[in-house]
Amino acid sequence: MCVTGELNKGMGNQRVDKSKAYLLAVHLKSQDINRTLAALDEVRSLAETMNFEVVGQEIQSRDAYDSKTYIGTGKLIEMRRIVEDQDISLVLFDHELTPNQGKFLEKQLGCMVLDRTQLILEIFANHAQTPEAKEQVELAQLKYMLPRLVGLWAHLDREKGGIGLSKGTGEKQINIDRTIIRKRISKLEKSLGKIARERQTQSNLRKKCFLSCVVGYTNAGKTSLVNQLTGAGLYIENKLFATLDSATRVMDNHTKPKILLSDTVGFIDNLPHSLIASFRSTLSVVKEADLLLHVIDASNPDIDKVIETTTEVLREIGAANIPLLIVLNKIDLVEDQVEMLVLKKKFPEAVMVSALDIQSVQRFKKEVSGFFERNLKSERTLLPYERSSLLSKFYQLGMVEKIDYEDEGIYITHKMTPTNQKILAASLLETANR
């Protein structure tokens, strides 16, 4: 499903004419202007990711958002002239518009209007490659659309006299559409549920390993680091949301158990809730991780916001309590020594890395292995001789450090992840009960 279908025609490298886009933001006087500027910059990156040509931008200072026009009547008139004079195809807003505001603005401006959420949904729709990602995006779009149907069909009721429709035609159409959309949502949820169960089987296999997962803001360099650390060859791009699927690769073969590294979809400020909900199964890998590597673009001027956003999403998906290592990537772009010192002071525990510098990547790899070793406690378990067949489980699930054969049984000194400890305990209990 693609709202910008017409505009997107010929997108990609072959695109000849880029659609001209204009950015609009409302700055509330009570807010920090830097945040408004940063939000507008982000909309620009989203627009560029969609291959639109951003030809201008405006910031309107107001005490409050205007409920009808969002930007205020004066600015709207000024904007209409700009749209006409410069042949603008679409106006992009830094904020989520109400369905009525969206429709009203489109009518007044005479061009397509997209808000931040729609833009993000469009990018996801464009980038989705796998059947799972496509279904997740469609689900998010339908959930976004459902409460907005009133706005879409209200005109039918308003215009009923003129076009000869009976009273309430719009309302009836809304009910038909709602039923169709609800059916499709339920079908998609069933299909995604099936994929999630298959994913669970894969994850049971993964549990035998130590799972680390990169998380963080979109474009922070997560996939680049995964590629450097594992040789994965995953797709990277200097655009937002290049990655929409999870991918897991072996990072270290020499440890017991192996260390795996997963890449996954990036986050953004005010990530639409429908998207987070729909991407739950893709993000399940984050929830299962033994260690999260929070990758941050060190050259981002608003690191606090980036951390805030990631922390918030991690909380929302139930991954807030997993051990987390801060990774300041793109350190090669921080040229100012003072800035570097500020970063070191602010994040004394962080790993500083550049995905472009192999030596720093190797140091980073050691940090992850070190974390893994530090966090695995040595345990000593007694295995009675009559259950010695379970010895192989210890080797499968962790590192066996020492074995002592005593009169009462085999004492095994081992290290394993908390998840694998639980799997082992369950196996021991199961055989004890037989």
Ligand X SMILES: Nc1nc2c(ncn2[C@@H]2O[C@H](COP(=O)(O)OP(=O)(O)OP(=O)(O)O)[C@@H](O)[C@H]2O)c(=O)[nH]1
> Among 129, 204, 238, 362, which residue sits at the site for ligand X (rule: CB under 6 A)?
238
| Contacts with ligand X, 249-288, as mask; x by CB under 6 A | -----------------x----------------------
Ranges within 343-382 binding ligand X (CB under 6 A) = 354-356
Of 83, 125, 209, 220, which one interacts with ligand X (CB under 6 A)? 220
Residue 117: name the closest of 231, 281, 21, 3 by CA. Answer: 3
Q: Is 57 helix (H, G, I), strand (E, B) or coil?
A: strand
Q: Could you tell which of Mg ion, ligand X, none binds residue 212, using a CB distance below 5 to 8 A set by kind? A: none
The single-letter DSSP state of residue 68 is T
Judged by CB under 6 A, the residue of 230, 329, 417, 420 near ligand X is 329
Nearer to ligand X, 309 or 354 (CB): 354
* 126 touches Mg ion by CB under 5 A: no
**CA distances to 162, 208, 212, 292, 409 from 250, in Å:** 65, 12, 10, 15, 35
Distance of CA 248 to the CA centre of its chain: 16
Is residue 221 involved in binding ligand X (CB under 6 A)? yes
40, 54 contact by CB (below 8 A): no
| Residue choice 243, 282, 310, 354 for contact with Mg ion (CB under 5 A) | 243
- Full DSSP string of 221-284: SHHHHHHHHH-------SSTT---S-EEEEEESSSSSPEEEEE---B-TT--HHHHHHTTTTTH
Q: Which listed option, ligand X, Mg ion, none, makes contact with residue 332 (CB within 5 to 8 Å by class)?
A: ligand X
219 belongs to the binding site for ligand X (CB under 6 A): yes
Give the integer Cα–Cα distance in Å for 130 and 426. Answer: 35
CB of 134 to Mg ion, least distance (A): 18
Whether 300 and 217 have beta carbons less than 8 Å apart is answered as: yes
Shorter beta-carbon distance to Mg ion: residue 153 or 267: 267
| Binding of Mg ion by 223 (CB under 5 A) | yes
Residue 85 C-beta: closest distance to ligand X, Å = 35
Segment lying near Mg ion (by CB under 5 A), choices 6-14, 241-249, 280-288, 347-355: 241-249
Q: For residue 94, count other CB atoms closer than 10 A to its CB.
A: 25
399 binds ligand X (CB under 6 A): no
Q: Least Å distance between CB 248 and ligand X?
A: 15
Which one of residues 180, 333, 358, 391 is an interface residue with ligand X (CB under 6 A)?
A: 333
3-state secondary structure of 27: strand
Tokens of 42: 């982000």
Among Mg ion, ligand X, none, residue 398 binds (CB under 5-8 Å by kind): none
Long-range contacts for 355-362 (Cβ within 8 Å, ≥24 apart)?
355/221, 355/224, 355/225, 355/227, 355/228, 355/329, 355/330, 356/224, 356/332, 357/332, 358/228, 360/331, 361/225, 361/228, 361/229
Tell me: does residue 329 bind Mg ion (CB under 5 A): no
Q: What mask, x for binding Mg ion by CB under 5 A, covers residues 169 to 208?
A: ----------------------------------------
Report d(CA 367, CA 242) in Å as an integer: 27
Q: Are 52 and 21 in contact (CB under 8 A)?
A: yes
Q: Determine, following the binding rule CB under 5 A, whether residue 117 of this chain makes contact with Mg ion.
A: no
- Work out how close the CB of 42 gets to ligand X at its nearest, in angstroms, rounded to a whole number: 13
Which residues are at the interface with Mg ion (CB under 5 A)?
A: 222-223, 242-243
Which residues are at the interface with ligand X (CB under 6 A)?
A: 218-224, 236-238, 240-243, 266, 329-330, 332-333, 354-356
